[in-house]
Structure 1
Amino acid sequence: MYSSGFRLSVSGCDSIIKKKLQLYGDKYPSVQLFFTPRPSRDFDVCVISGFEVIEVFENRKTKMEYFPPIIAFGPVEVMPAAIAAGCSDFLCEPWSTVELFERARRCLGDSAVYAGNLCIVSGVEGQLSVYDADGGLHKMRLPMREYEIYRLFAGNRGEYFDRESIIRLLTPPDSTVELQGSRAADMHISRLRRRINRLLVEAGGNAADNPVITVSGHGWGIVSQA
């Protein structure tokens, strides 16, 4: 079991469900569980009532893309409107605590990358987060190009990219601006690895566990993870 994981906030549930989540949460030591009045960008996954999703996001006064993945819960009749409002997943009542934890973990998708016994979570606005063994939070904001490269690797684990393919994939078809120079990809990846090394060490981890690796003859990437 990984010692550190992601921050999960739950809003709008009654005291009985809170108690069940607290008890079952002991089986998920990699999850930092919080009960909050509303969703926030301070967390990696947010769970809220489907009615609140509709009220807050349906009119688009608050943009869903500014938030981490949101899981809504409620009666099945609410599901279509909640999904249309933009939630990532929906829990139909009655739902179990294990279902919530497993769906939350699945919602992270390629946002969660394991490095030794630590978990790196990529969030909004180019931010990487790691939680140490004591639950302490360590953050780092990446420059745009480095974040794009990291997300490319995280979303294609087990695939490796040479410098030409990285430049091609990260340059929009209609753009006149490229990753300048044949060694630009090397430079960005070198800086990305150094930043991740520093983040892991700050969180009590080992720089040798950096998930961004070089495969001779193939390029760079992140190894497949179970």
Structure 2
Amino acid sequence: MRKVMKVLLVEDDPLLGQGLHSAMKQHRIPAEWVTNAAEALGALRSSDFDALVLDLGLPDLDGIELLKRLRGNGHQLPVLILTARDGISERVRGLDTGADDFLAKPFDIDELMARLRALVRRSSGIATPTIQLGELEIIPSHHRVELRGQEVALNRHEYQLLTLLASSPGRVFSRETIIDHLYRWDEEIESNTIEVHVHHLRRKLGRELIGTVRGIGYRLVIPENA
């Protein structure tokens, strides 16, 4: 029987917290929502969780300090930090303190859920399954892509873009979401970088694979025989 992921959500903003809690429920992810560090520590003492979603601006204790306390007490559960888009110093402090991932606000709910699943998979040693889309096969455990049984050479960013699109076929990913997924906060990119990656993927895998939604972003077109 497949284990259900249980998440502790620490977010003091009532609107965002309620929205995230409802979204997790819709994705069938059991979640306990608390609004401050004291409640978070109490929840961790009384229940087991598979991941922690942590906002940094808590009313009683800075989120980084809470994370430092958890790591100091031996808590090893994966931690995903929610941070402001321009909070570069917060991201650095969070990662140095022991965070496993971060997501900049505003963010896409589907990406949050995908990152949580990835964190839990990595922490439990579960490999990501092969993704089969028609004649295209993505083998995450080997960072390998095959088309009609033949390996296709992709660079790192092309592979990351393809796996992001393939994580939710048919869904439109904005340029901002793609950039956040492919690049670190301290990397500079050209204005047409994403378009170049898309062009290369189309050339290597077929023009019909990636659709453009003008003014919004890109999506993976689901093959009829997928």
Measured against the shorter chain, the TM-score band is 0.3 to 0.5
Q: Which has the higher contact order (CA 8 A, sep 6+)?
A: 1
Question: What is the TM-score with the length of structure 2 in the denominator?
Answer: 0.42
Question: What is the TM-score with the length of structure 1 in the denominator?
Answer: 0.42
